[in-house]
Each structure stands twice: as C-alpha cells, then as structure tokens.
Amino acid sequence: MAKSRLQGSFDTNALLRLVLGDVPAQTAAVESLLEKGGIFEVADAALIEMIFVLEKILKMDRSLIQENVFAITRHKQFIINKKLFEKCMPLYCAHKSLSIVDCALVSYARLRKAPLYTFDKDLIKYAEGDAKNPV
C-alpha cells in the first residue's frame, strides 16, 4: 500500500530524468522513490523550467512536450497546479511565438479572471483579451 503523506518535492532534474530516462541510474532512483509510495509536490517553476529545457536545449516538439507535461500533471503521486497547465499548454502549442513563461502568465490571469498588463504585442494579440497594455 502506498504512503499517502507528503514525502517531498521534485525539482526540474528529477522530472527530466523521469521524462527522458537518459541517465539510467538517476532515472532508476526517481522511479524507485515513486515505487515506495507517497505524495510529492511539483512547483510551477520546476515544470516550466522542464518545458524550457525540453524545447530550447533538447529541441523537442511542443506537442510532445505537452504529452509529457500532461503525463506529469495526471500522475497520482504528484501535487501540481493542474489547472494552470491545462490552460497553459494548449496556448503554448498553438502559438510558437509565445514562450512557456508568456503562456503561464496569461494562464494565471485567466484563472484569476483578471487581466495581465504587458507591453508585449504578441502576448496581447494571442491572449484573447486576457492581456492588456497598461497605457
């Protein structure tokens, strides 16, 4: 039976090992930790950094990145801001000119039902009224 109490949190590197399986010893360590049970937090910043690394460093396609993010957000052992990433990832996949940070900022605004003030014209254009110029 899995432990249900909080065991800790995962950083970007642990998430990358889980997604990529590229460092066998580290991947095995992360998988072993999960097999022991328990719940782990994943901060928005860790997942956003993972997305950045997958796109900018490893040149992964945004649709594949989205699949990996959704696998993490749906993992039963992770406490994660699912609402944010459910809003953020479709915007990220649809608009290549927007960074993951831009998409997250718009998504935070949408979740709070309050505008995001920015001077970024692309962000205003694609945010569908959720981002505004402060002037």
For the chain, the structural domain boundaries read 1-80, 82-135
SS3 of 5, please? strand
**Can you give the pLDDT at residue 3?**
54
Extract the tokens encoding 85.
Answer: 């990433």
pLDDT of 2 > 50? The answer is no
CA angle, residues 125, 126, 131, in degrees to nearest 5: 70
Half-sphere exposure of 101 (CA within 13 A, CB side): 7
Instruction: List the one residue out of 73, 68, 97, 75 whose CA is nearest residue 87.
Output: 73
CA angle, residues 94, 103, 95, in degrees to nearest 5: 20
When mean pLDDT is compared across 6-10, 92-96, 121-125, the lowest value belongs to 121-125
- Dump pLDDT digits (tens) for 76-118: 999 999 999 999 999 999 999 999 999 999 999 999 999 999 9
Q: Are strands 116-117 and 78-79 parallel, antiparallel or unpaired?
A: unpaired
Distances (CA, A) of 115 to 55, 87, 131: 27, 15, 5
Band of pLDDT at residue 7, cut at 50, 70 and 90: very high
SS3 of 125, please? helix
**Can you give the pLDDT at residue 108?**
96
**This prediction's pTM:** 0.92
- Position of tokens 């992360």? 30
Mean local confidence (pLDDT), 39-61? 98
